[in-house]
Amino acid sequence: MTTGEIREEILDILEVIAPDEDLSNIDDAVNFRDQMELDSMDFLDIVMELRKRHRIQIPEDDYVQLASMNSTVTFLEPLMKDIQKV
């Protein structure tokens, strides 16, 4: 997947997890928690959704890498580079 496709995938997952949030104005450099009402369970849901959709395993110690869109995409790029967008 490309960087843009990974970003779109994360937006899709966020839409499922936080359907009431306006994702059109997401600032990729700002932490999700500073922009949205997400709690630790929501972050776990992101991890679980990535596992379900793409069989990606993210160790708990790496959850901090999912803080913002930029850090999430950067973290996921090597893990998802060989995944084809469906």
- Position 44 in a domain: yes
Domains: count for the chain: 1
Model confidence pLDDT, tens digit, residues 17-59: 999 999 999 999 999 999 998 888 988 999 999 999 999 999 9
CATH number at residue 11: 1.10.1200.10
Under 8 Å CB-to-CB from 23, ≥6 apart: which residues?
11, 14, 15
Model confidence pLDDT, tens digit, residues 60-86: 999 999 999 999 999 999 999 887 765
- Position 85 in a domain: no
Which one, of 76, 79, 64, 78, lies nearest residue 32 by Cα?
Answer: 64
pLDDT of residue 85: 65
Q: What is the DSSP letter of 84?
A: P
Distances (CA, A) of 37 to 20, 40, 86: 10, 10, 29
Distance separating alpha carbons of residues 74 and 79, to the nearest angstrom: 10
The answer to whether the pTM exceeds 0.95 is: no
pLDDT of residue 86: 59
